[in-house]
Structure 1
Amino acid sequence: MNSQGQRIAAVLLAAGNASRFGAAKQTLAIEGIPMVRRAAMTALHAGLSPVVVVIGAYADAVRPCLAGLPVQVVENPDWTTGMGGSLGLGVRTAVAREAAPDALVVLLADQPGIRAAHLKGMIEAHATAPGHIHAAQFNGHLGPPCLFPRDYFEELASLQGQKGAQRLIERYFDCVDVHDLPAAAFDIDTPGDHAVWLAHQGID
């Protein structure tokens, strides 16, 4: 439970096969820490609990990167069907616990610019507008990290296919609070992206 007295979970998506990268980008070192582990630590430092990490492709390589962290790792055997299925599995896992969360944050493993302070900002905004979806805005786009209150859990849990949280953001746009978050614009999809990150040591 965070400082606002809310129980807010995290679903961290790390199941893809990184086809444009050509290898397990989830294990890439960012500031000396595997990227997926760093993202999980960010969620934990923001006070999110439980933190559910969905793995799939490269599961054998990704799972050890999370060793010792108080996170719940769940493997999606159907990761090839797309992000929606992985998100649905993560949400079902998070809400199946004895103490169901009041809200949850959807995170991607390949956004190394996201810091705990960014997530805490969304959590604070949720405290004042608890019925709204909160989504990052970057480069004219809305997407993760994004926070969904409990009313959206059932629909999130039923997601399948390629489209994940974006589907609900579009469907319920009138209920979305926008958070300008340039750091969310940088995701590592290719070796070139990783080289840029290393060269510039991240973005604020």
Structure 2
Amino acid sequence: MKSRPAVIVLAAGTGSRFGAPGHKLTQRLGSSSVLGATLRHAIASHLAVVVVTTDALADTARRHVASRDVVVLPSVGTPGPHRLGMGYSIAAGVAARPDATGWLVLPGDMPMVQNTTLLAVAAALDHHPVTYAQHRGRRGHPVGFGAELYSELVTLSGDEGARRLVARYPAHGVEVDDPGVLIDVDTEADLERVRQVQAAPAP
């Protein structure tokens, strides 16, 4: 079977801006959770899915993907040799799928991103080293990286993420009819808005 890009779902953050009890990714959303809804769309793309998370959320992730596809990291702030954060999470996810033809980085708190969007961004990696979804000209997620950037991705650390790579290489925006690429769940108000959108009747 031909190798394809993999989706790296980032779920190792603390979610410190979310005020309600419990982690934001475990909050109820429809019949699932915030993380569960994000993973459902990722799985529906039929691309390989890797979840990078911590012990606190590992069991939640394993309800949706196989244990071998869950990369468990120490919590941010844990003493150790690595500069933990988004950059290190990306590096760990990419290292878990070294044979992929690219990697789509998708935050776990973006439950509205559609599977068709993931496929469109993945397809653009055939022609561009860095791709990203955009809606009505506004840049969003996921962000895709081609296989040629593997050696740089696996050395990321700290909390800067991959911004330097996006700035260094020509990045191609993929226009999608998916406002979910701009919607993340950082606060209780964000979550309530997403719930209202999901509950609204289809146009």
Equivalent position of 1:63 in the other structure: 59
Whole-angstrom CA distance in 2 between matches of 1:110 and 1:186: 9
Q: Structure 2: any 5+ residue segments left out of the alignment?
A: 78-83
8 A contact 1:112–1:202 mirrored in 2: no
TM-score normalised to the size of structure 1?
A: 0.82
Whole-angstrom CA distance in 1 between matches of 2:199 and 2:165: 29
Equivalent position of 2:80 in the other structure: none
8 A contact 2:58–2:72 mirrored in 1: no
Whole-angstrom CA distance in 2 between matches of 1:200 and 1:165: 30
Residue 91 (structure 2) pairs with residue 94 (structure 1): no
Whole-angstrom CA distance in 1 between matches of 2:110 and 2:174: 16
Q: By how many angstroms is 1:34 displaced?
A: 1.6
Q: Which amino acid aligns with 1:176?
A: A
Whole-angstrom CA distance in 1 between matches of 2:75 and 2:136: 31
Equivalent position of 2:159 in the other structure: 162
8 A contact 1:12–1:108 mirrored in 2: yes
Change (3 A) 1:167 1:68: same
8 A contact 2:129–2:148 mirrored in 1: no
TM-score normalised to the size of structure 2?
A: 0.82
Equivalent position of 1:16 in the other structure: 13
Residue 149 (structure 2) pairs with residue 152 (structure 1): yes
The number of equivalent residue pairs is 190
Change (3 A) 1:12 1:152: same
Q: How does 1:52-201 map to 2 (within 5 A)?
A: 52-56=50-54, 59-67=55-63, 69-70=65-66, 72-77=69-74, 79-80=76-77, 81-95=84-98, 100-127=99-126, 129=127, 131-137=128-134, 142-172=139-169, 175-181=170-176, 182-201=179-198
8 A contact 1:114–1:184 mirrored in 2: yes
8 A contact 2:129–2:149 mirrored in 1: no
- Please provide the CA RMSD for this pair: 2.4
SS of 1:179's equivalent? strand
Q: By how many angstroms is 1:66 displaced?
A: 2.8
Q: By how many angstroms is 1:132 displaced?
A: 2.6
Q: Structure 1: any 5+ residue segments left out of the alignment?
A: none
Whole-angstrom CA distance in 1 between matches of 2:118 and 2:133: 10
- After TM superposition, the structure 1 stretch with the greater mean CA deviation from structure 2, 77-86 or 156-165, is 77-86
8 A contact 1:26–1:62 mirrored in 2: no
SS of 2:97's equivalent? helix
Dislocated runs of 4+, deviation >6 Å: none
8 A contact 2:11–2:51 mirrored in 1: yes
SS of 1:201's equivalent? helix
- After TM superposition, the structure 1 stretch with the greater mean CA deviation from structure 2, 15-24 or 69-78, is 69-78
Q: By how many angstroms is 1:65 displaced?
A: 4.3
8 A contact 2:86–2:161 mirrored in 1: yes
Whole-angstrom CA distance in 2 between matches of 1:37 and 1:61: 11
Q: Percent identity?
A: 29
Q: Which amino acid aligns with 2:86?
A: M
Q: By how many angstroms is 1:64 displaced?
A: 3.1
